[in-house]
Amino acid sequence: MPPRESYDWLRAHAVETATIGSALALLHWDQSTKMPPAGHAHRTAQVGILTKLLHERRTDPRVGEALDKARAELLREDPESEFTANVREWQRAYDRAVRIPTELAVATARAAAEGETAWKRARPDSDWQAFLPHLEEIVRLRREEAEAVGYANEPYDALLDEYEPGETAASLEPVLAGLRRELVPLLERILGAPRQPDRTLLTRHYPLGCQRALCREAVAAIGFDFEAGRIDPTAHPFSTRIGPGDVRITTRYNEHAFGEGFFGAIHEAGHALYSQGIPGAHFGTPCGVSVSLGVHESQSRLWENMVARSRGFWRHFLPRAEERFDCLRGVELDAFVLAVNDVRPSLIRVEADEVTYNLHVLLRFGLELALLRGRLEPRDLPGAWDESMRALLGLTPPDLADGVMQDVHWSAGLLGYFPTYTLGNLYAAQLFEAAGRELGGGPQGLDERFAAGDFAPLLGWLREKVHVHGSRFVPRELMRRATGAELGHEAFMRYLTAKYEALYGL
């Protein structure tokens, strides 16, 4: 088969595989939103069968043969072309997949499905002993996967590379260490500031129906297309792309915690805007999927924090919120903006503010490294968690539900995932800084646009610089092209320092 015919076969095979994968994504969405409790056992069987089918397709020897032939065309292709990017990423995915035995892939998928169900049942009662066997199995399988995939330096790199291509523990540790060195002094300054928010503003009575309506209005305003998506309640917020024209987001609401539902919805809408901005014509190919979780997270954190917690955003949306919530009548803009940017150490990562959030990620990154390096066993996680929480945030969880059991990730097998959250924050700051510069007026210019309810210029810039490329470029190269800067913590600290010095009168 000639190189071009081989490429066409690869593309058709990949599109069909992605279509099957989209059915699996729909099953996962249903499991987290609508499925009755008694359906979990059957869902685990469904996930196992589809995972086996997908793994067999991804490791089909014909894929390897077609790649060998298609690569012969690369020397004649533009290194930045769709052809080159797709062949490069197909080869990368194939090389990883063929190293993982089908039995291991299926066992991991089943363990994750069972683990997530066990976590949901055990977390409300902090029942660690009921959840521990599932976690032990997941960690064992992920360690086995790391060895099967292989690594140059340490097992953690084999798992991290799945979510953030090209990154390693060694490449991240100095960036995170530099961030920690500057975060802690800024946090201390903020906590000692004379100006502090009225924390009761966000814990008043916010009827759930009105919250849902405001969330829907806000995510539509920033660009989420409801003709190609939907929003639903769930226990742990997430976003998922089922396929072209079907991108779904979720959030969880609390009558006495306005930020939980609202900022959860904006965060997931940020992910969804990226997914909706990837050209549907490329579905099933690397140019039709996001490049990494860190880049994906940059979109959600940018919209949640840099847009939706800005003064300009609330100049536009506070009057609309006042129309829906009696408890906000007469609340001053500056008081509300300070409240939604409240900084204080807290137990829960998803509820953490911008300044302390990355300390939560550093905690999890350290524990994951210890697990994969064999220095920590799952049974010892509760004690290690509490010790790290005290060291980083000065807090001790009152129970396991708000401690080591608070995140769904480990129950779902997502070891190596957490650093992508901090990468997202760092990339978001670099993108926001570059967008302000190129759209004109810097951060103040963006804020004025938000105050006028005009979010389209920023979304359009992100579509051009990030979304449309899919995985055409590796993450660091994509960000370098978009921002003109290398990965670092400097832009993030410039953003935090300027914002919180103004808010807190430092």
Provide, for the chain, the percentages of residues in helix, strand and coil under a 3-state DSSP scheme, each rounded to the nearest 5.
70, 5, 25
Compute the distance between CA of residue 122 and CA of residue 401 in angstroms, rounded to an integer.
9
Compute the distance between CA of residue 327 and CA of residue 331 in angstroms, rounded to an integer.
8
C-beta separation of 241 from 25 below 8 A:
yes
Q: Tell which phi-psi region holds residue 330, choosing left (phi > 0), alpha (psi between -120 and 50) or beta.
A: left
How is 293-327 classified by DSSP, letter by letter?
A: HHHHHHHHHIIIIIITTSHHHHHHHHHHHHHH-GG
Taking the CB of residue 92, how many other CB atoms lie within 10 A of it? Answer: 15
For residue 285, report the phi and psi dihedrals to the nearest 5 degrees.
-110, 160
Give the length of the chain.
506
The one-letter amino acid code at 168 reads T
Cβ neighbors of 57 (< 8 A, separation 6 or more) are 13, 16, 17, 20
Compute the distance between CA of residue 40 and CA of residue 110 in angstroms, rounded to an integer.
11
C-beta separation of 142 from 149 below 8 A:
no
Q: Which residue has the tokens 């939706």?
A: 308
C-beta separation of 386 from 400 below 8 A:
no
C-beta separation of 277 from 223 below 8 A:
no
Angle, helices 490-504 vs 354-372, to 10°: value is 140
C-beta separation of 134 from 115 below 8 A:
yes
In the sheet that 246-251 helps form, which strands lie side by side, from edge to edge?
229-233, 246-251, 239-243
* Token pair in block for residue 20: 């099957």
User: Is 89 one of the annotated active-site residues of the chain?
Assistant: no
Dihedral angle of Cα 234, 237, 242, 248, to the nearest 10 degrees: 80
Compute the distance between CA of residue 272 and CA of residue 265 in angstroms, rounded to an integer.
10
Compute the distance between CA of residue 251 and CA of residue 231 in angstroms, rounded to an integer.
8
Residue of 268, 297, 368, 433 marked active site: 268
Residues serving a catalytic function are 268
